[in-house]
């Protein structure tokens, strides 16, 4: 009985990893162990993320976490739709026509990932397989879909993004990893059906999460960050 109480206390205890360490340790993970996150740990992580700032404290994020059989059903549906060429119907249009330095960074990211996965430039089959891995949720035991009320627009979506960052950093602090996934906006009706969402909540993106599988080659991918001078301007006059 004492050991069980200690185990519960240990799983609920806040980690020792600090914020700065969590920021540098976070990376997108595309391969997970077949191990579910204990519910008490998930509760604590989402409780921490709930402290995120938002405009007028409206707390606009709506989060739907699928695990177990529900997660498996969504995975099967999304893989079938993507492999079958079903046209995505996202609630929000994706604008991915990057140019100049943004295009350079996008290409560098793709090269870094595909090289670890052993996918060459002309390997169409390999690239399709990489796409399908998204809809397999990279074998994560959990997938969170993040959305907001249909009346909200871009400025409120920023608040949802801040929540997502808090969530992913909290996961790292507890020994978990994640992958934010824009592809999870492709079939929002599947999400609404799965969770019986009736208020018209629109889906912005998803986050797969769980315990990282260290033997997945894609998880060795690392991207670089520019010097702050590329993005930040300081002035005092």
Q: Are 185 and 203 in contact (CB under 8 A)?
A: yes
**Hey, CA dihedral for 46, 50, 53, 56, is it positive or negative?**
positive
Q: Are 144 and 195 in contact (CB under 8 A)?
A: no
The continuous run of DSSP H or E covering 203 comes out as strand 202-210
Angle CA 103–111–136, to nearest 5: 100
Rg (CA), the chain: 19
CATH number, span 18-93+135-222: 3.40.109.10
pLDDT exceeds 60 at position 8 = no
Query: If you average pLDDT over residues 43-54, what whole number do you get?
Result: 97
The confidence score (pLDDT) of residue 5 equals 42
In angstroms, rounded to a whole number, what is the distance separating the alpha carbons of residues 33 and 29? 11
**Hey, CA dihedral for 120, 125, 93, 137, is it positive or negative?**
negative
In three state form, how does the secondary structure of 73-86 look? HHHHHHHHHHHCCC
What is the chain's length? 237
Confidence of residue 3 (pLDDT cuts 50, 70, 90): very low
Cα end-to-end span (Å), the chain: 66
Report the share of the chain in percent with pLDDT over 70: 95
Query: What are the domain boundaries of the chain?
Result: 18-93+135-222
97-155, pLDDT tens digit by residue?
A: 899 999 999 999 999 999 999 999 888 999 999 999 999 999 999 999 999 999 999 89
The confidence score (pLDDT) of residue 12 equals 58
Confidence of residue 13 (pLDDT cuts 50, 70, 90): low
- Collect all residues with Cβ–Cβ distance below 8 Å to 28 and sequence separation of at least 6: 178, 179, 180, 221
In angstroms, rounded to a whole number, what is the distance separating the alpha carbons of residues 72 and 186? 17
Token pair belonging to 186: 């492709």
Strands 202-210, 62-67: pairing is unpaired
The confidence score (pLDDT) of residue 204 equals 97
Helix ranges, 118-187 (H): 124-135, 154-173
195-206, pLDDT tens digit by residue?
A: 999 999 999 999
Q: Residue 147's beta-bridge partner residues?
A: 62, 203
In angstroms, rounded to a whole number, what is the distance separating the alpha carbons of residues 57 and 59? 5
Token pair belonging to 216: 């997945």
Higher pLDDT, 154 or 52: 52
In angstroms, rounded to a whole number, what is the distance separating the alpha carbons of residues 21 and 31? 22
């Amino acid at each position: 009985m004492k050991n069980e109480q200690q185990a519960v206390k240990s799983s609920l205890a806040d980690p020792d990893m600090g914020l700065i360490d969590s920021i540098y340790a976070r990376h997108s993970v595309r391969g997970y162990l077949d191990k579910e996150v204990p519910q008490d740990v998930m509760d604590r992580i989402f409780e921490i993320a709930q402290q995120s700032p938002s405009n007028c404290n409206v707390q606009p994020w709506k989060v739907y976490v699928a695990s177990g059989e529900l997660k498996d059903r969504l995975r099967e549906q999304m893989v079938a739709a993507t492999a079958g060429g079903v046209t995505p119907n996202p609630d929000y249009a994706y604008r991915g026509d990057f140019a100049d330095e943004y295009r350079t960074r996008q290409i560098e990211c793709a090269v870094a990932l595909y090289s670890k996965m052993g996918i060459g430039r002309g390997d169409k089959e390999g690239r399709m397989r990489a796409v399908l891995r998204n809809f397999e949720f990279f074998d994560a035991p959990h997938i969170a879909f993040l959305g907001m009320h249909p009346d909200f627009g871009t400025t409120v979506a920023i608040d949802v993004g801040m929540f997502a960052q808090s969530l992913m950093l909290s996961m790292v602090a507890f020994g978990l990893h994640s992958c934010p996934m824009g592809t999870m906006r492709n079939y929002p009706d599947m999400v609404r059906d799965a969770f019986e969402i009736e208020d018209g909540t629109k889906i912005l993106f998803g986050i797969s999460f769980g315990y990282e599988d260290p033997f997945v080659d894609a998880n060795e991918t690392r991207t670089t960050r520019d010097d702050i001078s590329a993005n930040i301007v300081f002035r005092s006059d």
